[in-house]
Amino acid sequence: MEVTVVGAGLVGCLLTCYLARRGHEVTLYERRPDPREAGAERGRSINLAISERGLDALRRLGLEERVLSAALPMSGRMMHAQDGELTFQPYSADGRRSINSISRGDLNRLLLDEAAAQPGVTVRFGHRLTSMDEQTGRLEFDTPSGSVVEKASVVLGADGAFSAVRARLRNLPGVDYSQEYLDYGYKELTIPPGSGLSQGALHIWPRGSSMMIALPNPDGSFTCTLFWPLADFGIHDISGHFASVYPDAFALMPDLSADYAANPVGRLVTVRCSPWHVAGAGLVAGLVGDAAHAIVPFYGQGANCGFEDCVELDRCLDATGDDFGAALALFESRRKVNADTIASLALDNFVEMRDKVASRMFLAQKRVEHALERVLPGRYVSRYELVSFSTVPYAEVERRIAHQRRLVAAGALTLAAGAAVALRLLRRR
231 φ, ψ to 5°?
Answer: -65, -25
Q: Is 301 in the site for ligand FAD (CB under 6 A)?
A: yes
The CA-atom distances, in angstroms, between 38 and each of 42, 48, 144, 217, 263 are: 11, 21, 15, 21, 18
103 φ, ψ to 5°?
Answer: -70, 130
CA–CA gap between residue 214 and residue 245 (Å, rounded): 15
Q: Is 8 in the site for ligand FAD (CB under 6 A)?
A: yes
Q: Which is nearer to ligand FAD, 256 or 303 (CB)?
A: 303
**Min. distance of Cβ 400 from ligand FAD in angstroms?**
21
Buried b (16+ CB within 10 A) or exposed e, 94-120: eeebbbbbbbbbbbbbbbbebbbebee
Instruction: Return the closest-CA partner of residue 10 out of 304, 393, 265, 297.
Output: 304
Binding to ligand FAD in span 344-383, by CB under 6 A: none
Q: Which is nearer to ligand FAD, 317 or 342 (CB)?
A: 342
Q: Is 30 in the site for ligand FAD (CB under 6 A)?
A: yes
Binding to ligand FAD in span 305-324, by CB under 6 A: 306
Q: Is 12 in the site for ligand FAD (CB under 6 A)?
A: yes
Kindly indicate which of the ranges 46-54, 279-287, 342-350, 405-413 contains the residues binding ligand FAD, using the contact rule CB under 6 A: 46-54
Binding to ligand FAD in span 225-244, by CB under 6 A: 225
**Min. distance of Cβ 35 from ligand FAD in angstroms?**
8
Q: Is 48 in the site for ligand FAD (CB under 6 A)?
A: yes
Buried b (16+ CB within 10 A) or exposed e, 329-364: bbbbeebbebbbbbbebbbebbeebbebbbeeebee
Is residue 15 within 8 Å of residue 5, measured between CB atoms? yes
Kindly indicate which of the ranges 61-69, 293-301, 338-346, 349-357 contains the residues binding ligand FAD, using the contact rule CB under 6 A: 293-301
**Min. distance of Cβ 229 from ligand FAD in angstroms?**
16
Q: Which is nearer to ligand FAD, 10 or 78 (CB)?
A: 10
Q: Which is nearer to ligand FAD, 121 or 129 (CB)?
A: 129
Q: Which is nearer to ligand FAD, 256 or 310 (CB)?
A: 310
Kindly indicate which of the ranges 43-51, 75-83, 256-264, 314-322 contains the residues binding ligand FAD, using the contact rule CB under 6 A: 43-51
Kindly indicate which of the ranges 45-53, 84-92, 168-176, 377-385 contains the residues binding ligand FAD, using the contact rule CB under 6 A: 45-53
Closest CB to ligand FAD belongs to which residue? 9
Q: Is 253 in the site for ligand FAD (CB under 6 A)?
A: no
Q: Is 75 in the site for ligand FAD (CB under 6 A)?
A: no
Judged by CB under 6 A, the residue of 31, 97, 203, 370 near ligand FAD is 31
CA–CA gap between residue 272 and residue 268 (Å, rounded): 14
**Min. distance of Cβ 14 from ligand FAD in angstroms?**
8
Q: Is 159 in the site for ligand FAD (CB under 6 A)?
A: yes
Number of residues that bind ligand FAD (CB under 6 A): 33
Q: Is 7 in the site for ligand FAD (CB under 6 A)?
A: yes
Q: Is 293 in the site for ligand FAD (CB under 6 A)?
A: no
Q: Is 339 in the site for ligand FAD (CB under 6 A)?
A: no
Q: Is 16 in the site for ligand FAD (CB under 6 A)?
A: no
CA–CA gap between residue 312 and residue 292 (Å, rounded): 14
Instruction: Return the closest-CA partner of residue 193 out of 260, 242, 247, 255.
Output: 255
CA–CA gap between residue 342 and residue 322 (Å, rounded): 28
Binding to ligand FAD in span 178-197, by CB under 6 A: 186
CA–CA gap between residue 301 and residue 303 (Å, rounded): 6
Strand partners, 225: 188, 213
**Min. distance of Cβ 297 from ligand FAD in angstroms?**
3
Q: Is 73 in the site for ligand FAD (CB under 6 A)?
A: no
**Min. distance of Cβ 61 from ligand FAD in angstroms?**
16
Judged by CB under 6 A, the residue of 61, 74, 158, 381 near ligand FAD is 158
Interface residues with ligand FAD (CB under 6 A) are 6-12, 29-32, 46, 48-49, 128-129, 158-160, 164, 186, 225, 266, 289-291, 297, 300-304, 306
